[in-house]
Amino acid sequence: MYYFVSPVIKFYTKFVYWLLIANFSFMCFIICMYISHQIISPVSFNASKTVPLVKALQNLQTNPDDTKTVDIFIKELSKNKTLLQQPVKKYIGKGSAAIVFETPEGNVLKLTLGNHFPMNRPVESFDVPVYEHSKSGKVHCYIEEKLYQHGLCDAFVEEVKTSIRKKGYRTFDIYDGDVFQIGFSKEGKLYLLDPECAKYKTIFHAFFDKIKRLFWKLK
């Protein structure tokens, strides 16, 4: 027996079929993104909850690319039990020789292999304010003000570079448009994020600067 099927019914049947396929594909995509996020972001604890620094570092060891560097940090920090228990609430990021977290107070806790300031230069007015500095073996720990990077432009980069030169340093690895190297404080003051971008002009400048600072300290 032949049954006539309206073209309209055929259309809506196909429409519902492809709609179900699209919804299923979208759900698969969401699930995959969630799983990959859990893998790629090893420190994904709740922002309202804090964990000890050692736990946050151990969580980073789930990424094979980070294991070697993190192992060095944990080994060096084991010499300072107090620092290992420092609470952190958020993983911000890492570099080749640095790992950065956010503290419960809203500051930045930065761990670096070696002094983060080139040739042990002092913290200058263009640098992010450092509230606390401690050391454990080769690892330096800095508690710094958290900066914000909304609304930055090339002119602000040039302003920071000018501030560096006025203090007698040379700029390094900070070029026009490198807004990721700078940031604003809560009060709206502009600072340099990476101290490595401001270096002594020569070894002699570094030597004489240290002699001068020692003289003023003893005076």
pLDDT at 139: 94
What's the predicted TM-score (pTM) here? Answer: 0.72
Share of residues in the chain with pLDDT > 70 (%): 75
Assess contact for 157 and 174: CB atoms under 8 A. yes
Provide the pLDDT for residue 17.
56
Of the pLDDT bands very low, low, confident and very high (cuts 50, 70, 90), residue 5 is: very low
Q: What are the sequence ranges of the domains in the chain?
A: 1-40, 51-144, 154-218
Confirm if 158 and 176 have CB atoms less than 8 A apart: yes
CB 125, CB 162: distance < 8 Å:
no
112-155 pLDDT, tens digit each: 999 999 999 999 999 999 999 999 999 999 999 999 998 899 99
How far is Cα 206 from Cα 167, in angstroms, rounded to an integer? 13
* Domain 51-144, second-level architecture: 2-Layer Sandwich (3.30)
pLDDT, one tens digit per residue, over 36-63 is 343 334 444 555 589 999 999 998 888 7
Query: Distance between alpha carbon 196 and the CA centroid of its chain, in Å?
Result: 15
Q: In angstroms, what is the C-alpha Rg of the chain?
A: 26
Q: Are 168 and 201 in contact (CB under 8 A)?
A: yes
